[in-house]
Structure 1
Amino acid sequence: MKRLGLAASQTAIAFVLLSIAPLAVHCAASAQDTSAAPHWVGSWGASPAFPNGPEITNRTIRQVVRLSLGGHAVRIRLSNEMGTSPLVIGAAHIARPGATVGSIDPSTDQALTFAGQTSVTIPPGAPVLSDPVTLETAALDRLTVSLYIARDTGPAATHPLGQATTTLSDAGDQTALATLPNATTSTARFFLSGIEVEAPGAGTIVTFGDSITDGYGSTADADHRWPDVLADRIAAGKRSLGIVNAGISGNRVLHDLPEAAFGPSALARFDRDVLSVPGVKTVIVMESINDIGHPGSAGLAEQAVAPEEITAGLRQLADRAHAHGIRVLGATLTPYGDTVFPGYYSAEGETKRQAVNQWIRTTKTLDGVIDFDALLRDPARPDHLIADYDFGDHLHPNDAGYRRMGDAIDLATIEAH
């Protein structure tokens, strides 16, 4: 083979460099173009639990959500992450609610697509995002999402404690109808796990916990959970922050309880329910009272845990959040003396609660503390809720208690960087 001389070699090299140069310019331009990409943030959420709901087939499901933050466009997240069969969405629509329960304003109705298609099949274990739709929304606006479930789901993986009315009709695809005929209702959330909005410069706070974050004991369809109260205050202050509620009633940090639909555990679902939320800046963690109480109430003595095991689990959550640049605020566990749930309270459990709270108040693992215990405990009986804030089961707050919690959070603390 003939070898190139020096001049020929230099010419060949120059040709190669000139050939690469346009590619380099194109790559630089592409990198610059990403700065104009839409900025999505979480504005609403409902975490799926273990499959515990009815089988759904050939039915339309209509659900109303209240956004915590508005934006210029909207997309939804559907979840089959806990399902055992493919989830076939035959059609999906989004609209403003109508004047009556389960109705929509037809003039605002828009069909949703998925990669340009009006239907999508979601395999078990997976979520899916819809294509965006242009829709100007404001903080605290309500939207209605209608889903047509085209094929049998098997036992539905719901968010059991929706604290909101879901409407279901069994006569096929009725996603575009103003009112669903022959409708029944449920208070669970079906397959809809998130709403995201395009909001440049905004961020999101995820509230991660159990039934007290999920709003057990609050008034249905009234948005009186403590994260709702926090969202009210953020909206009133015109701050660019969304709230995504990732509470699951009965949830524990360290163990599942599949037959009761209380899981997956906090450690198992943290990536799904916190790290996957777009724009998340801060997570407020209020978990582990069920780690203390469930072993006694559910006859699970082998699942009894020490305070050190609980705090090790909370430390894991904090470390995983910090690895993604997310701040972690720890909320103390509220009193539960004399709760009506048999076997849930014990003197030993109260000692564990105090130990966990002491760790939350003093550890340097967390970036801040929200002392809900100090807000709600009875000064005369510190292991009991103040009567005016007690839902009646001596474990969960009522609307007034949740308002006390949401009103007491320092907004500067959750916004600090």
Structure 2
Amino acid sequence: MNVWAPDAPLAGIYGQTIREFARVSLGGNRIAVRFTNEFGDTPLVFDEVEIAIGGIGGKAAASSGRAVTFGGSRVGTVYPGAPLISDPIELPVAPLSLLAVSYFSSGFMPFHTHHFEAQQTAYVSVPGNFVGSDLMVTQNITTSHYALSSILVEVAQDARAVVCFGDSITDGFGSSIDASARWPDLLAERLATEPGFENVAVLNQGIGGNRLLHDRRGAKALARFDRDVLSLAGATHLILLEGINDILWPRTVLAGPEEAVSAAQMILSYQQLMARARIAGLKVIVGTLMPFEGTRPDLPHGGYYTADKEKVRQAVNRWIRTESNADGLLDFDEVVRDPARPSRLRSDFDCGDHIHPNDRGYRAMADAIPISLLHIKSE
């Protein structure tokens, strides 16, 4: 996503090393790394990059490191507005492995692209090249990620992927840091032990604060859909859970009244995303929007939850349940709402902000997904 100033991002690094961690879904013997500079206006230059099996507390597993090259060179340049994909790397990884990607720049590397709420610790070194070190000397840590975009795994011919596309609830905000407790993580763990689904990857394409129809935290869903869904190799299913921020943000400190959207506008957006997915051959599974009463009443001006906003959520959910013509329905609203007060999250599923689930809530969401919806052929 683009860097938005109120998120207080890391401006960049100078002569330092960053180590980022990410968990792959499927295993394999060869991998590649994708870096991003998609919102930048100057090149990012890597002097050296290495990937290793991840350890605890910022460590890389001893003797597991592999040099990352780009056209045979250790130096890589990520040009503005573009990604950079490495050469294939010989590194056997097991399913659900945590990998550590370390990169060093001897000059200044500015960041205009980041993943703000990654729920995974990244480590920034003191000045120096610690790419090949099992444990580097750390200057600070952050739960945002920067140049690393994805890790690609060479898999069997029959492997395929389920793409989870949404906002911070898909991104896993409110889940425990470094615990891989987002609902897509937990779905991946289910599929890894489900007969017939061992070669089905789960890809998390959630962006915190993302919306269907307006930019700010990441390009709007309608704009980023080709990059974040349709470009992904092997995708057969889309799980769509997006739109609560379109309702929540307007008339608050986050967005003015001119960005308010109606249920009808949101429904048209869903229909467009579904049409584009189906042209690409994906089956579309849509999740209902979850309750948010009580969200951030402490902030200036309030207005995050109102009765009128709740009416929009209910109208959208009625359409999803009865008229969307999706290939599958995930009634996440029913799973996580308080039976005694359906406009609120269950207290035992609430991370504390009254909109994002905690680990237990994300577990309930993942467990509620019928595996039958993820078959290639309709049952």
TM-score scaled to structure 2, two decimals? Answer: 0.92
Tell me what 1:119 maps to: 75
More displaced stretch, 368-377 vs 50-59? 50-59
Distance in 1 (alpha carbons) for counterparts of 2:118 and 2:338:
29
Tell me what 1:416 maps to: 376
1:326 to 272, 277, 282: 282
After superposition, the Cα gap between the structure-2 partners of 1:109 and 1:293, relative to the gap in structure 1 and judged at 3 Å, is same
Look up the SS of the partner of 1:229 in the other structure.
helix
1:284 to 236, 239, 252: 239
Residues 97-124 of structure 1 show CA distances to partners (whole Å, capped at 9, x for unaligned) of 23x4112123111101111111111111
Tell me what 2:336 maps to: 376
Cα displacement (A) at 1:145:
0.8
CA contact (8 A) 2:212 2:220 kept: yes
2:173 to 209, 216, 220: 216
Tell me what 1:141 maps to: 97
CA contact (8 A) 1:55 1:152 kept: yes
After superposition, the Cα gap between the structure-2 partners of 1:63 and 1:102, relative to the gap in structure 1 and judged at 3 Å, is same
Distance in 1 (alpha carbons) for counterparts of 2:3 and 2:138:
28
Structure-to-structure mapping, 1:71-82, within 5 angstroms: 71-82=28-39
Cα displacement (A) at 1:365:
4.3
CA contact (8 A) 2:121 2:143 kept: yes
- Aligned-pair RMSD on alpha carbons? 1.5
After superposition, the Cα gap between the structure-2 partners of 1:367 and 1:61, relative to the gap in structure 1 and judged at 3 Å, is same
Q: Structure 1 residue 385 and structure 2 residue 350: aligned?
A: no
Total equivalences in the alignment: 365
Distance in 2 (alpha carbons) for counterparts of 1:171 and 1:278:
38
Tell me what 2:201 maps to: 242
Distance in 1 (alpha carbons) for counterparts of 2:327 and 2:227:
22
After superposition, the Cα gap between the structure-2 partners of 1:149 and 1:311, relative to the gap in structure 1 and judged at 3 Å, is farther
Q: Structure 1 residue 344 and structure 2 residue 304: aligned?
A: yes
Tell me what 1:6 maps to: none
Provide runs of 4+ in structure 1 moved above 3 Å: 48-53
CA contact (8 A) 2:123 2:138 kept: no
Cα displacement (A) at 1:299:
4.6
Q: Structure 1 residue 394 and structure 2 residue 348: aligned?
A: no
Distance in 2 (alpha carbons) for counterparts of 1:271 and 1:387:
37
Q: Structure 1 residue 300 and structure 2 residue 256: aligned?
A: yes
Distance in 2 (alpha carbons) for counterparts of 1:334 and 1:182:
39
Distance in 1 (alpha carbons) for counterparts of 2:371 and 2:67:
37
Q: Structure 1 residue 269 and structure 2 residue 203: aligned?
A: no
Distance in 1 (alpha carbons) for counterparts of 2:255 and 2:54:
44
Q: Structure 1 residue 64 and structure 2 residue 25: aligned?
A: no
Look up the SS of the partner of 2:73 in the other structure.
coil
CA contact (8 A) 1:207 1:285 kept: yes
Distance in 2 (alpha carbons) for counterparts of 1:191 and 1:391:
28
More displaced stretch, 326-335 vs 232-241? 232-241
Distance in 2 (alpha carbons) for counterparts of 1:116 and 1:365:
49
Look up the SS of the partner of 1:217 in the other structure.
coil
Tell me what 1:160 maps to: 116
Tell me what 2:317 maps to: 357
CA contact (8 A) 2:122 2:142 kept: yes
